[in-house]
Structure 1
Amino acid sequence: MELRMLRAFVEVVRRGGFSEAAKAVFTTQSAVSKSVRQLENELGLTLLDRIGHRSTLTAAGEIVYRRALTILAERDDLLAELEEFRGLKRGRLRLGLPPIGSDALFAPLFAIYRSRYPGIEIQLVEHGSKRLEELVRDGEVDLGASLLPVPEEFEWQEVRLEPIDVLLPESHPLAAEEAIPLAHLRDMAFILFDAGFALNPIILDACRSQGFQPQVAARSSQINFIVELVAAGLGVGFLPRMIARQRVHDGVVHRAVVDPGMNWHMAFVWRRNAYLPHAARVWLELADEVFRKKALAAS
């Protein structure tokens, strides 16, 4: 069994087809198809159920796919560790960040990191926290920013703890309050983020603890659009306080929510017991240095 076969098979599954997989591995569609067929012949099992232009995993394919991800991640770890052993002054940081809060938290880090380590290439992907956890688990990124708590399979380093504020139209009767009990929002429509954003379960779990399931009026992946929907009177939104303060909008106010469980607790996560490249380790060191200084300055 050759690694190129596993790589071709994994990319077919990830990309949803042979033509897109061929682009990912820089070869032809026929070469990818041949590699997958060779893998199936060697294992004596059908891994993909080919229906027209679509391919779905068989039961055996699911097992091979899961194991292949681990094998390929270990291979990448091996190459990264050997590169550092050779003392090369270059490297790659594969970093996953969420759309919520990344501009405020991490933009200054990039400038400092680049000035200290100009030979390290940063490959950045942006997704919701749950998708980033999947990418870390599959070895596609070295570090991902997610919200605590995270599964035991990850190690983590804290970044920031912020309460979650509610966004209200300025004309709303509750807007005059400094702090609003979550239960007082039970009859209002909620505007939430799209599925895959870890902020949603925090809000929904807090609502369930207060004995209600909110009515969801809309979902979006864009903070500015959510603020605009609140301004238009469609419902109430929620943002970490640090971000709410930056999204000043005429006709919209943010207020504290009286619920100690509604916190935005961000951390960097990586695979437990996996090799962490030097580029990722120095990013964590820099993040710890910068965020500790900010915490001391705020205290």
Structure 2
Amino acid sequence: MNLRTLRAFVEVVRQGGFSQAAEVVSLTQSTVSKAVKTLEEELGMPLLNRLGHRNELTAAGEMTYRHALALLAEHANLVAEIHDLRGLKRGVLRIGLPPVGCGLLFANMFAIYRSRYPDIEIELTEYGSKKLRECLQAGEVDLAALLLPVDEGFDYQPVRNEPLIAVLPVSHPLALRKRIDFTDLADSPFILFEAGFALNAKILAACERKGVTPKVTARSGQIDFIVDLVAAGLGVAFLPRMLAHKHQHAGIALVHLDEPQTDWHIALAWRSSAHLPPAARAWLDLAAQQQLSAGHPL
């Protein structure tokens, strides 16, 4: 058993197939397949049930996946500490960001960071919240932008807290209201983000608290497309205030959502047990400086 084999197995699980995993680990599909087979032979049990084009974890696979994540994380931690011990000058910033809102929050920070630390390499990983948490747990990134609350075992530094805004077509009967909640929208179809986006869970949990069962008419990972669908009258959507204002146009109405437990509270998270490299600590320091200078609520 070696780390390369474990990494291949983890990516097959995470990416949902051998060909997708091969692209991530920069190996051929046959090499990835052999790596998983070797791991199964070494452990003496099948780890995956091959169901057509799908692969499902067996009980042994579930156990192996959990331990593989832990071993990969420990290896990443060891490498980071050794680099510090050697006084590594260049360094690598390994950061994971979700697609929603991070352009507005972090694009300018990347420019400032690059000007301050031109020799530090930046490795950017972009996934939804679920995959980002897994990447963080596996030590594949040192920092990840996640919605609060974060999982046990993570520490975090708050970045921005934004209320959600309901995005309605201008023709909607409630478009002129100043504030609405989910009971007001019980009969309106919802347009949500794709599966894996943490914002969906906040919205659906708030609906459940109000006894509302929303009809989801569409999902997308693209904010522009979601806003266009709203403008076309397909349903209502929900965006953090800063994003709603950025995408405002004549075809939509923005109404404050009176649901306080749905706030989009984003933070930079890291593993509590991990050694945080200097490159990551410098990013956290810059994030704190930027938020203080901008006067944004944390």
Same fold (TM over 0.5): yes
Q: Per the alignment, do residues 115 and 134 of structure 1 end up closer, same or farther by CA in structure 2, a change over 3 Å counting? A: same
| CA 1:291–1:237: 2 relative to 1, 3 Å | same
Q: Deviations over 1:205-240 (max 9, x none)?
A: 222222211111111111111111111111111111
Q: Tell me the equivalent position of 1:128.
A: 128
Deviation, structure 1 residue 255: 1.1
List aligned pairs for 1:100-249, cutoff 5 A: 100-249=100-249
Q: 1:295 to 1:53 in 2, by over 3 A?
A: closer
CA distance in structure 2 between the aligned counterparts of 1:82 and 1:44, rounded to whole angstroms: 34
SS at the partner of 2:225?
Answer: helix
SS where residue 261 of structure 1 aligns? helix
The 2-side partners of 1:121 and 1:115 are apart by: 12
Counterpart residue number, 1:97? 97
For structure 1, which segment, 115-124 or 58-67, has the greater mean C-alpha deviation from structure 2 after superposition? 58-67
Q: Aligned partners of 2:198 and 2:19: how far apart in 1?
A: 33
CA drift of 1:196 comes to 0.9
- TM-score with structure 1 setting the length: 0.88
- Paired residue secondary structure (2:82): helix
1:202 shift after superposition: 1.4
Q: Distance in 2 between matches of 1:38 and 1:130?
A: 28
Aligned partners of 2:286, 2:104: CA distance in 1, in Å?
A: 16
Q: Which ranges in structure 2 are unaligned for 5 or more consecutive residues?
A: none
**Would the aligned equivalents of 1:130 and 1:146 in 2 still touch at CA under 8 Å?**
no
Aligned mates of 2:176, 2:52 — CA distance in 1: 60
- Alignment deviations for residues 99-156 of structure 1 (CA, whole Å, 9 cap, x no partner): 1111111101100111111111111122222221122122222111111112212111
- Residues 226 and 237 of structure 2 are in contact (CA less than 8 Å); yes or no, is this contact kept in structure 1? yes
Take 2:260 and 2:76, find their aligned partners in 1: how far apart are those partners? 42
Normalising by structure 2, we get a TM-score of 0.88
Report matched runs for 1:14-163 at 5 Å: 14=14, 25=25, 36=36, 38-48=38-48, 57-163=57-163
How many residue pairs get aligned? The number is: 297
Query: How much has 1:43 moved relative to structure 2?
Result: 3.8
Where in structure 1 are there 5+ consecutive unaligned residues? none
Contact 1:154 1:269 in 2 (8 A): yes
Give the greater-gyration-radius structure (CA): 1
